[in-house]
Chains A and B, each alone.
Chain A
Amino acid sequence: METLLANLGIGFGAVLAFEPLSLFGLTLPVPMNLVYAFLGAFVGTMIGVLPGLGPLATIAMLLPATYVLPPLGGLIMIAGIYYGAQYGGSTTSILVNLPGEVSSVITCVDGYQMARRGRAGVALTTAALGSFFAGCVATVLVAAFAAPLTEIAFEFGPTEYFSLMVLGLISAVVLASGSVAKASAMVCLGLLGGLVGTDVNSGVSRYAFNIPELADGIGLVVVAMGVFGFAEVIRGVEQKEVREVFTKKVTNLFPTKADFKRMIAPVLRGTALGSLLGILPGGGPILASFGAYALEKKISKNSAEFGKGAIEGVAAPESANNAAAQTSFIPLLTLGLPSNAVMAMMVGAMMVHNIQPGPQVMTSNPTLFWGLIVSMWIGNLMLVVLNLPLIAIWVKFLMVPYRFLYPAILVFCSIGAYTVNNNTFDVLMTAGFGLLGYVFIKLGCEVAPLLLGFVLGPMMEENFRRSLLLARGDFTVFVTSPLSLALLGIAVVLVVIVARPAIKSKREEAFRKE
């Protein structure tokens, strides 16, 4: 406990540190990390509010900008965008009946009904307070679990890491919506894409066709911007826009005493479920919000009111998605394993600054580690302030038509793709990945597993090789190490469960609601 407090002290010290900043010839001491947290929270809320622009595309777009920031500042900003989007997404769901984010889809159901009954303000407050509570709890969880899990992670050798990645990728596939075979193929394609370039062990250039730009491998920014940014824009432009803003003024933000009473249990349950689902590889805010809504509908005594503006239907999923956004940092910070596509981009941001994600970060770079955790709590506090009193500003953002928005996305992506290596070849390659992403969307293949595989590809091959080298070519090493056997065992159980006909139909039914 005392070490935890001391560690949080390091974090607060790092986040609140003042740095000199020169602007217009004046040099002033500014708490730069607070500024980055605010920027992240602000941008996150903005893109959360805007339908058609999600956290994946935005983080891809801003990834090159974080390369020039100091490591802690860059990570704080990406994290802020991620959980900020969970706050902003609910605003659009409630006011427009259109999800600002995928993780707020389910909030539309009861949130919009509340708005139609003139209770939009109450719904917004419920979402924000629920998110804030969940964010605080999840931050404490991250801080509390980080140290013990890191200890376990140090026991891991290459064999265990390989098996852990197999488990992670398999559960990502199982938890993704749609066909398991398709998602598995996407993961494997991602892994293959990650192998393009010079092989570090042998120096052999793979799949590069003597193109110098490919010798260093395909950049994460190129893939992420292409499949999330450009592909989404093309799909957004081809759809005719239908957006009816619920323009009634948002008044009366304060929930009544009865509202508060009904809110407490769903918020607690949503936070618990969301925190749990966030830790799972492949889990995250989307799964958490759907799960929390389904759970609440089943056990609430007001279940008859669901779909007609039940406050529980807003409180539970909104708490859950924010909790999950935050706890999904746990596997990344302790094991160095990204559990979803946003975390995969965090890995990219860390690697650029020569920080290898994994258990050693906590000891070798404590200010970064604890600073990031503390910034999440501060960011959540900023978000409540940003979202409630300033709601009128965000409603204005909702009015920005897509025809103004998408050229801006393209401009920022194109310049960003260029500036990573000052190379126009990267811009052309990003366009190519945009085409690929568009084709995948049309064929009903989810692209997030592809990005996850892409980041894990080189790590997985490296650990595979090292395990076999240490075992002198004995393949049984993966099942003779007890830890590795257990991890692979869980993976097999997951596959068997999903393959069972009864579960299969239930699963398909559950995802069809999306």
Chain B
Amino acid sequence: MRIKNQKDFWAGILFIGFGLFFAGLGTQYTMGTAARVGPGYFPTALGVIVILLGIVVSVSGLSAKAPAEKVDDFHFPTLLLILGSIALFGLLLKPLGLMISLFILIAVSSYASHEFSWKAMLINAAVLIGLCLAVFVWGLKLELKLWPSLIGY
């Protein structure tokens, strides 16, 4: 069988997956009675609705009348560099402090661009780090550790 509208088909599958997850776990919580609705009632009902909608969406993607649509290619290097740079920032902020983790965030994410250049990245990093210091540290006075503990404050 050929999948006519791939976007719809896979979106439907994703919905079914999410629905199964929420409805399945939802049944583990107390359902309660109609007069005293328990914590499991609402999420399980919603989960079932999501499953049903997911079936509708994916079946409509299989129908011969559906407009043919392909899922655009995932651009994995971009995806990995952008999300990776954010994750690195999250992981390194506590141990390395704001300055170094910000630089890593900017350097790694800039590398994802089609027109990456070292010089432009370094200028951008200097400007952005300066801006962050001005706004967050001196302006809003947020408690952020700037450097790794080894070097002292």
Among B28-70, those with CB < 8 Å from A are 29-30, 33-39, 42-43, 46-47, 49-50, 53-54, 56-57, 60, 69
Q: Is the interface of B mostly helix, strand, loop or mixed?
A: helix
Say yes or no: A206-B83 contact (C-beta < 8 A), given A185-B54, A188-B50.
no
Question: Chain B residues with Cβ under 8 A from A192's Cβ?
Answer: 18, 22, 43, 46-47, 50
Measured CA separation A241–B55 after assembly (Å): 37
CB nearest to B18 among chain A residues = A189
Partner of B8, one of A202, A427, A444: A444
Which of A71-79, A249-257, A374-382, A407-415 touches B?
Answer: A407-415
Count of chain A residues near B, Cβ 8 A: 66
Q: Which of A65, A230, A472 contacts B82 (CB 8 A)?
A: A230
- Using Cβ atoms and an 8 Å threshold, which residues of chain A touch B57? 179, 181-182, 185
**CB < 8 Å neighbour of A234 from B11, B83, B94:** B83
- Which residues of chain A from 390 to 430 have a CB within 8 Å of any chain B CB? 401-404, 406-408, 410-415, 418-419, 422, 424-425, 427-428, 430
Of chain A, the residue at the smallest CB distance from B74 is A442
Q: Which residues on the B side are within 8 Å of A445 (C-beta)?
A: 11
Complex Cα distance, B37 from A464, in Å, reads 9
Taken together as a complex, chains A and B put the C-alpha atoms of A184 and B50 apart, in Å, by 8
User: With a CB–CB cut-off of 8 A, which chain A residues contact B93?
Assistant: 418, 424, 427
Q: How far is the CB of A162 from chain B (nearest CB, A)?
A: 11
Q: Is the pair A419, B39 in contact by a Cβ cutoff of 8 Å? A: no
Let me know if B83 and A204 touch, CB within 8 A.
Answer: no
With contacts A414-B105, A442-B74 taken as known, whether A206 is within 8 angstroms of B113 at the C-beta atoms is no
Q: Pick from A191, A403, A411, A443: contact of B102, CB below 8 A.
A: A411
- Asked whether B14 lies within 8 Å of A443 as measured between CB atoms, the reply is yes
Interface residues on B, range: 35 or more
B134 within 8 A of A: no
Q: Does A149 contact B (CB under 8 A)?
A: no
Partner of A204 from B29, B36, B102, B112 at Cβ < 8 Å: B29
The smallest C-beta distance from B31 to any residue of chain A, in angstroms, reads: 11
Interface-facing stretch out of A280-288, A312-320, A433-441:
A433-441
One of B18, B83, B91, B132 near A230 (C-beta < 8 A): B83
Instruction: Check if B105 sits within 8 Å of A407, measured CB to CB.
Output: yes
- Tell whether A465 is near chain B: CB-to-CB under 8 Å: yes
> Do the beta carbons of A406 and B109 come within 8 Å of each other?
yes
> How close is A241's CB to chain B, nearest CB, in angstroms?
7
Main secondary structure of the interface of A (DSSP, over half): helix
Is there an interface contact between A401 and B115, defined as CB atoms closer than 8 Å? yes
Contact with A along B116-153 (1 / 0, CB 8 A): 10001000110010011000100010111000000000
Whether A207 sits at the interface, judged by CB under 8 Å, is yes
Provide the residues of chain A in CB contact with B79, threshold 8 Å: 234, 435, 438
A445 to B18, CA, bound (A): 14
Asked if B86 is at the interface of the complex by the 8 Å CB criterion, the answer is yes
With A195-B42, A428-B90: A442-B72 Cβ-Cβ less than 8 Å: yes
Q: Which residues on B sit within 8 Å (CB–CB) of A237?
A: 78, 82, 112-114
Chain A residues near B131 (CB-CB < 8 A): 408
Given A185-B50, A234-B78, A443-B10, check contact A431 B113 (CB 8 Å). Answer: no
On whether the beta carbons of B35 and A189 are closer than 8 Å, the reply is: no
Q: Please measure, in the bound complex, the distance between the C-alpha atom of A220 and the C-alpha atom of B10, giving whole angstroms.
A: 27
A468 interface contact, C-beta 8 A: yes
User: Which chain A residues border B25 with CB–CB below 8 Å?
Assistant: 206-207
A81 at the interface (CB under 8 A from B): no
Chain B residues whose CB sits within 8 angstroms of the CB of A461 once the complex forms? 42
New A-B contacts (10) at CB < 8 Å, excluding given A192-B43, A427-B89, A468-B35: A68-B140, A182-B8, A230-B82, A404-B124, A407-B105, A410-B86, A411-B105, A411-B132, A435-B79, A473-B36
Enumerate chain B interface residues (CB-CB to A < 8 A): 7-8, 10-11, 14-15, 18, 22, 25-26, 29-30, 33-39, 42-43, 46-47, 49-50, 53-54, 56-57, 60, 69, 71-72, 74-75, 78-79, 82-83, 85-87, 89-91, 93-94, 98, 102, 105-106, 109-110, 112-116, 120, 124-125, 128, 131-132, 136, 140, 142-144
